[in-house]
Amino acid sequence: MKPNKQSINNLILFCLYSSSSRFSFEELVKECFSRFPERFSFSKIKKWPDSRKLDSSLRKLRKRKLITGNPKTFFKLTNLGKKTAEDTAKVFRQRKLKI
């Protein structure tokens, strides 16, 4: 599955999983934009990250107990979030094998 077919939530979880054990909000915006610029950029200015795209998703992920943290500290995966991120990583690996 291509990144543009994955939900924003799954892409955020994948970024948390594949890079660091925890991220500040700013670091997470940078990581998501670096990996998936087409999904995390402003619609009219593609070369700039749009942090608003993470805001509501981070709240939803925290409510679903997939992450912990907040913008004033850092974000980190829970065990359930790690499992979901691993599933997304598997989809990306399978996609690469098919190409």
For 26-64, write each residue's pLDDT tens digit: 999 999 999 999 999 999 999 999 999 999 999 999 999
Which among 82, 51, 78, 74 is positioned nearest to 63, based on CA atoms? 78
Count the domains in the chain. Answer: 1
Domain that holds residue 48: 3-94
Q: Does residue 17 form part of some domain?
A: yes
The 10s digit of each residue's pLDDT in 62-90 is 999 999 999 999 999 999 999 999 999 99
Contact 49, 65 (CB under 8 A): no
Q: What does the pLDDT read at residue 95?
A: 63
- This prediction's pTM: 0.86
Residue 20 pLDDT > 90? no
CB-based contacts of 45, cutoff 8 Å, min separation 6 = none
Q: Does residue 99 form part of some domain?
A: no
Q: How many residues does the chain have?
A: 99
Q: Does residue 29 form part of some domain?
A: yes
Which residue type sits at 3?
A: P
The CATH number linked to 81 is: 1.10.10.2260
